[in-house]
Amino acid sequence: MAAIRAAGPGQDVTLLEKKDSLGNKLLLSGKGRCNLTNTEDLEYFLKRFSKNGDFLRDAFKNFFNRQLIDFFEQRGLRMKIERQLRVFPQTDRAASILDILKKELLNSGVQVIYKAKVINLLLDAGKVKAVRLENGVNIACDRAILATGGASYSFTGSDASGINIARKLGHKIIDLRPGLVPLDVKQDYPRRLEGLSLRNIRLKFSDGKTQIISEIGELVFTASGISGPLVVTLSGKVIDMLAQDRNVFVEIDLKPALSIEQLDSRLLREFKANAKKSIKNALKELLPLRLIRVFIEASAIDLLKKCSQITQKEREKIISLLKGFRMDISGSRPVEEGMVTRGGVSLKEINPRTMESRLIKGLYLCGEMIDVDADTGGFNLQAAFSTGYLAGESAASS
């Protein structure tokens, strides 16, 4: 988007891409469907960013969700709005978004050079003078836009090399941390339940003092912990709790729609109707099969105990596990596995009205490499497109 916007009469724009194809992360976005943006209004939109949302106000005022949707619709790709106002292409294919961007690069006369990894910028009296490629070639230019992404899913090309270039040039880098990332837990349950997905559950993360309560949604067990939309959305806050050396645990409310009293009468009913069955068989009505063994182990009740023999104390234990199945959080997956990178080039040294570096004339920074990150819902791509658009516009008019 930055290159497309920068191109125009009198501008000679070259896009340098280290991989042999463009938009590899874009193709993965939204599970291959690309959640392009969100139709929420500006104030709500800004609140969905970790902490630095306000920095984006100018970029969003200049080019926001409506303009981004129009950009694609005017080029023949219809959009649709799904739950929580998430916007997707009607084709359900991220490749449709990428195709339009590639066509537009061509139409705007941008020269694209593949397998061109940038390793540094050369300066002359504090101004951009050339871009240095890994193969030793220098490409002369008087303005350069860095849009090299974060540090995750490095096989897509975004491996923090652009952030390191900014560092070499004197920019302060806020520590890179994973965002929107699966969490690890201490117990071995996830390993035993890997791949099992629990729908319509609620999560409560706590460090004993502060509580973070999720909406109702889905959780997926991974080899070492938990993932899924609820987990990745809250992962940033949980990582912040862990960073303060606190013991953090999660409680899964497996039956968020039922109160303790309702669950108690439900269990009494089930146990009466299935008096001769083992507890293991009776719980099939309430829990996914794969979860039952682990669940009963956690309750310390004998797996083969008949329903008629379950004591009130044991029933209370089952209810407390149904309302709060506890696991201790040991950490998160690394930056590489985050859907987004938190941290990056410090915003203090970037002009929010132009995206130009405050340290180096002719250098513009945009997209995930700068210190902004947001929730899931299309907010991260909109930030990348808006800051890219503004960087391109400012670079062309400076």
Kindly list the residues in this chain that would bind ligand FAD in the complex (CB under 6 A). Answer: 16-19, 22, 24-26, 28-30, 34-35, 117-118, 147-149, 152-153, 157-158, 161-162, 339-340, 367-368, 378-381, 384
Least spacing, CB of residue 30 vs ligand FAD, in Å: 3
Token match 């940038």: residue? 118
Least spacing, CB of residue 208 vs ligand FAD, in Å: 33
- Residue 278, beta-bridge partner list: 306
* Beta pairing, strands 111-113 & 14-16: parallel
Least spacing, CB of residue 68 vs ligand FAD, in Å: 11
User: Which residue lies nearer to ligand FAD by CB, 13 or 16?
Assistant: 16
User: Which residue lies nearer to ligand FAD by CB, 25 or 323?
Assistant: 25
Structural element, H or E, at residue 166:
helix 161-168
Under a CB-based contact definition with an 8 Å cutoff, are residues 384 and 59 in contact?
A: no
Least spacing, CB of residue 376 vs ligand FAD, in Å: 7
Q: Quick one: how far is CA 316 from the chain centroid?
A: 38
Least spacing, CB of residue 66 vs ligand FAD, in Å: 16
Least spacing, CB of residue 265 vs ligand FAD, in Å: 42
Structural element, H or E, at residue 71:
helix 65-73
Under a CB-based contact definition with an 8 Å cutoff, are residues 88 and 77 in contact?
A: no
* Beta pairing, strands 79-82 & 86-89: antiparallel
User: Which residue lies nearer to ligand FAD by CB, 117 or 237?
Assistant: 117
User: Which residue lies nearer to ligand FAD by CB, 64 or 153?
Assistant: 153
User: Which residue lies nearer to ligand FAD by CB, 119 or 396?
Assistant: 119
* Beta pairing, strands 325-332 & 183-185: antiparallel
Least spacing, CB of residue 34 vs ligand FAD, in Å: 6
User: Which residue lies nearer to ligand FAD by CB, 282 or 338?
Assistant: 338
Q: Which residue is nearest to ligand FAD (CB)?
A: 157
User: Which residue lies nearer to ligand FAD by CB, 235 or 299?
Assistant: 235
Least spacing, CB of residue 53 vs ligand FAD, in Å: 14
Give residues with Cβ within 8 angstroms of 120, minimum separation 6: 131, 132, 165, 168
User: Which residue lies nearer to ligand FAD by CB, 86 or 315?
Assistant: 86
- Nearest-angstrom CA–CA distance, 234 and 387: 25
- Nearest-angstrom CA–CA distance, 220 and 229: 9
Under a CB-based contact definition with an 8 Å cutoff, are residues 147 and 366 in contact?
A: yes
Buried b (16+ CB within 10 A) or exposed e, 6-33: bbeeebebebbbbeeebbbbbbebbeeb
User: Which residue lies nearer to ligand FAD by CB, 18 or 255?
Assistant: 18
Q: Which of 302, 364, 367, 315 is nearest to 341 (CA)?
A: 367
Least spacing, CB of residue 369 vs ligand FAD, in Å: 6
312-323 vs 289-299: helix crossing angle, rounded to 10: 120
User: Which residue lies nearer to ligand FAD by CB, 89 or 253?
Assistant: 89
Least spacing, CB of residue 37 vs ligand FAD, in Å: 7
Token match 């700068």: residue? 370
Between CA 148 and CA 154, with CA 153 as vertex, the angle to 5 degrees is 55
- Nearest-angstrom CA–CA distance, 265 and 271: 10
